[in-house]
Structures are given as structure tokens and as C-alpha cells.
């Protein structure tokens, strides 16, 4: 394997890890915001979030949803819960 191929592979792995880190951080922020908005414990907010279809949408990055602001994501979650 050539050095160029090794570097490209490592860069690809780094990009995947970075995207996963971003999603994990985003999910933590969404859960914290849900906790504040609904006056729930973090455990209850986490249960609501991960049991929703909204969490799957964020995980898949459906329609670039993961790039929206935290406030918009929280509002979307609350609207979906109605």
C-alpha cells in the first residue's frame, strides 16, 4: 500500500470519528435542552429523546437535520411530541 493510500484511509477514519463525535455532542445538547424546556430530569429527557423517531432522524442525518441550530432542533422535537 502506498503512503498516499494510507493517508487517505486515515483521513477517512478521522472524518468518520469527527462526525460521530459531533453527533454525540449534538445529542447531549438536545437532551439538555429538552430537559430544560419540559422541566424533566436528564434521565427522563434522555428516555423521551431516544424513544422518539426524532432521534433516528438526527442519527441518520436525514435532510441535513444535524446541521440545524439547537433551538430549531429542540422546537422540532417538541412539535413532534404533540
4-62 confidence digits (pLDDT tens): 565 566 667 656 676 776 678 899 999 999 999 999 999 999 999 999 999 999 988 88
In the prediction, which pLDDT does 49 show?
A: 95
Q: Which domain holds residue 74?
A: 31-82
In the prediction, which pLDDT does 81 show?
A: 84
Task: Tell me how many domains the chain contains.
Answer: 1
pLDDT, greater one: 2 or 23: 23
Distance of CA 45 to the CA centre of its chain: 14
Report if residue 2 sits inside a domain. no
Report if residue 21 sits inside a domain. no
Q: Over the Cα atoms of the chain, what is R_g?
A: 16
Residue 28, H or E segment: helix 3-38
In the prediction, which pLDDT does 8 show?
A: 60
In the prediction, which pLDDT does 54 show?
A: 93
Amino acid at each position: 500500500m502506498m503512503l498516499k493510500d494510507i493517508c487517505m484511509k486515515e483521513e477517512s477514519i478521522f472524518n468518520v470519528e469527527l462526525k460521530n463525535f459531533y453527533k454525540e455532542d449534538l445529542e447531549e445538547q438536545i437532551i439538555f435542552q429538552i430537559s430544560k424546556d419540559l422541566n424533566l430530569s436528564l434521565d427522563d429527557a434522555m428516555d423521551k429523546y431516544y424513544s422518539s423517531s426524532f432521534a433516528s432522524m438526527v442519527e441518520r442525518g436525514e435532510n441535513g437535520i444535524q446541521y440545524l441550530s439547537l433551538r430549531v432542533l429542540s422546537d422540532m422535537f417538541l412539535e413532534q411530541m404533540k
